[in-house]
A and B are shown apart, each in its own frame.
Chain A
Amino acid sequence: MQLTLGPLLYYWPRQTVLDFYAEAAGWPVDTVYLGEVVCARRHELKLADWLALAADLSGAGKAVVLSSQALLESSGDLIGLKKLIESGFAIEANDLGAVKLARDAGRPFVAGPHLNIYNGPTLDWFAEAGASRWLPPLEASRDTVAAIVAEKTAVVETEVFAHGRLPLAFSARCFTARHYDLNKDACEFKCIDHPDGLTMSTREGQDFLCINGIQTMSAACHALWHDLGDLAGIDALRISPQQHHTGEIVAAYAAKLAGRPATADAARWNPEGWVDGYWRGEAGIHPIQEH
Chain B
Amino acid sequence: MSAKPQLVCPAGSLPALKAAIDHGADTVYLGFKNATNARNFAGLNFGDTQIRDGVAYAHGRGREVLVAINTYAQAGRLAEWHRAIDRAADLGVDAVILADLGLLAYAHRTHPQLRLHLSVQGSATNADAINLAHECFGVRRAVLPRVLTLPQVESVIGKTPVEIEVFGFGSLCVMAEGRCILSSYATGQSPNTHGVCSPAGFVRWEPQGKAMDARLAGILIDRYAEGEPAGYPTLCKGRFDVEGDTYYALEEPTSLNTLAVLPELMRIGVAAIKVEGRQRSPAYVTAVTKTLRAAIDAAGDARYSVKPAWLDALAPLSEGHQQTLGAYNRPWR
**Which A residues are closer than 8 A to B by beta carbons?**
70-75, 77-78, 95-101, 103, 114, 116, 118-126, 137-139, 144, 147-148, 150-151, 166, 168-175, 177-179, 183-185, 198-206, 208-209, 211, 216, 218, 277-278, 281-285
CB <8 Å contact, A118 and B192: yes
Write out the residue numbers on chain B whose beta carbons fall within 8 Å of the beta carbon of A138: 181
Q: Return the chain A residue nearest B243 by Cβ.
A: A198
Flag if A95 contacts B249 (CB, 8 Å): no
Q: Cβ of B221: which chain A residues have Cβ within 8 Å of it?
A: 202
State in angstroms the CA–CA spacing of A116 and B100 once bound together: 8
User: Contact between A73 and B73 (Cβ–Cβ < 8 Å)?
Assistant: no
Given contacts A77-B126, A177-B332, contact A166 B185 (CB under 8 A): yes
7 CB < 8 A contacts A-B: A70-B179, A71-B147, A96-B101, A119-B73, A139-B181, A169-B236, A283-B184
B75 within 8 A of A: yes
Closest chain A CB from B238 CB (angstroms): 8
* Docked complex Cα distance between A282 and B243 (Å): 29
> Given that A144-B74, A202-B240, A283-B188 are known contacts, is A216 also in contact with B175, CB under 8 Å in the complex?
yes
Contact of B75 among A120, A168, A208 (CB under 8 A): A120
In the complex, chain A residues whose CB is within 8 Å of the CB of B152: 73-74
The distance in angstroms between the C-alpha atoms of A170 and B124, with both chains bound, is 13
Q: Which residues of A sit under 8 angstroms from B181, Cβ to Cβ? A: 137-139, 168-169, 284
Q: Is B125 an interface residue (CB 8 A)?
A: yes
Pick out which of these stretches binds chain A: B15-23, B60-68, B129-137: B129-137
Instruction: Find chain A residues with CB under 8 A from B176 CB.
Output: 71, 169-172
In angstroms, how far is the closest chain B Cβ from the Cβ of A213? Answer: 13
B174:A122 contact, CB within 8 angstroms: no
Chain B minimum-CB-distance residue to A100: B132
A227 to B44, CA, bound (A): 39
Report B233-249 CB contacts with A as 1/0, cut-off 8 Å. Answer: 00010111111011001
Does B180 sit at the interface, judged by CB under 8 A?
Answer: yes
Given contacts A95-B125, A121-B106, A171-B176, contact A178 B249 (CB under 8 A): yes
Using A71-B147, A170-B180 as known contacts, say yes or no to A204 and B220 having CB atoms under 8 A apart: yes
Q: Which residues of A contact B175 (CB under 8 A)?
A: 169-171, 216
Report the minimum CB–CB distance from A224 to chain B (whole Å): 16
What is the total number of residues of chain B having a CB less than 8 Å from a CB of chain A? 67
B24 to chain A minimum Cβ distance, whole angstroms, is 30
In this complex, the member of A144, A172, A183 whose beta carbon has the largest number of chain B beta carbons within 10 angstroms is A172
Contact across chains for B100 and A118 when beta carbons are under 8 A apart: yes
Q: Which of A70, A151, A171, A282 has the most CB of B within 10 A?
A: A171
Please indicate the chain B residues that have their CB under 8 angstroms from the CB of A185 in the complex.
Answer: 333
Residues in B whose Cβ lies below 8 Å from that of A77: 126
Q: In the complex the two chains form, is B249's CB within 8 Å of A206's CB?
A: no
Interface string of B175-197 (1 = CB under 8 A from A): 11011111011111010110000
Q: Are B106 and A211 in contact (CB under 8 A)?
A: no
Write out the residue numbers on chain A whose beta carbons fall within 8 Å of the beta carbon of B147. 71, 73, 171-172
Contact among A101, A124, A216 for B250, CB-based, below 8 A = A216
Cβ–Cβ contact A97 & B132, under 8 A: yes
What is the CB-to-nearest-CB distance from B154 to chain A, in angstroms, rounded to a whole number? 11
CB distance from A151 to the nearest CB of B (A): 5
| Cβ of B284 under 8 Å from chain A | no
User: Is the C-beta of B321 less than 8 angstroms from some C-beta in chain A?
Assistant: no
CB of A65, distance to nearest CB on chain B (Å) = 20
The residue from B75, B128, B246 contacting A118, defined by CB atoms under 8 A apart: B75
In the complex, the answer to whether B242 meets A171 with C-beta atoms within 8 Å is no
Whether a CB of chain A sits under 8 angstroms from the CB of B223 is yes
In angstroms, Cα B126 to Cα A98, docked, is 10
What are the 6 tightest A-B residue pairs by CB atom distance, in nearest-first order?
Answer: A122-B102, A96-B129, A97-B128, A172-B147, A147-B75, A100-B132
Which of B73, B106, B239, B333 has the most chain A CB atoms closer than 10 A to its own CB? B333
- B315 located at the interface, meaning its Cβ lies under 8 Å from any Cβ of chain A in the complex: no
List the A side residues contacting B133 at CB < 8 Å: 96
Contact with A along B203-230 (1 / 0, CB 8 A): 0000000000000010111110000000
Question: Which residues of chain B have C-beta atoms less than 8 A from A206's C-beta?
Answer: 219-220
Instruction: Give Cα A97–Cα B152 distance, bound, in whole angstroms.
Output: 15
Q: Which of A75, A147, A173, A218 has the most CB of B within 10 A?
A: A173
Partner of A283, one of B73, B155, B186, B192: B186
In the complex, what distance in Å separates the CA atom of A138 from the CA atom of B185? Answer: 10
Contact for A100 among B129, B217, B330, CB less than 8 A: B129
**A179, B126: Cβ atoms closer than 8 Å:** no
**Selected contact of B249 from candidates A99, A118, A123, A200, CB within 8 Å:** A200
Contact check, B106 vs A97: say whether CB atoms are below 8 A apart.
no
Given A73-B126, A169-B179, A203-B220: A100 and B192 interface contact (C-beta under 8 Å)? no
Given contacts A169-B179, A184-B330, A206-B219, contact A72 B126 (CB under 8 A): yes
Q: A96-B124, A200-B249, A285-B186 are known contacts. Are A121 and B132 too (CB-CB below 8 A)?
A: no
A144 & B131 in contact (Cβ 8 Å cutoff): no
Instruction: Name B53-90 residues within 8 Å CB distance of A.
Output: 72-76, 78
Please report the C-alpha to C-alpha distance between residue A272 and residue B253 in the assembled complex, in whole angstroms: 29
Closest to B180 in A: A169
**Considering only CB atoms, which chain A residue lies closest to B155 in the complex?**
A75
A174 to B332, CA, bound (A): 8
Q: Hey, which chain A residues are within 8 Å of B123, CB to CB?
A: 95-96, 116
Contact of A121 among B78, B186, B250 (CB under 8 A): B78
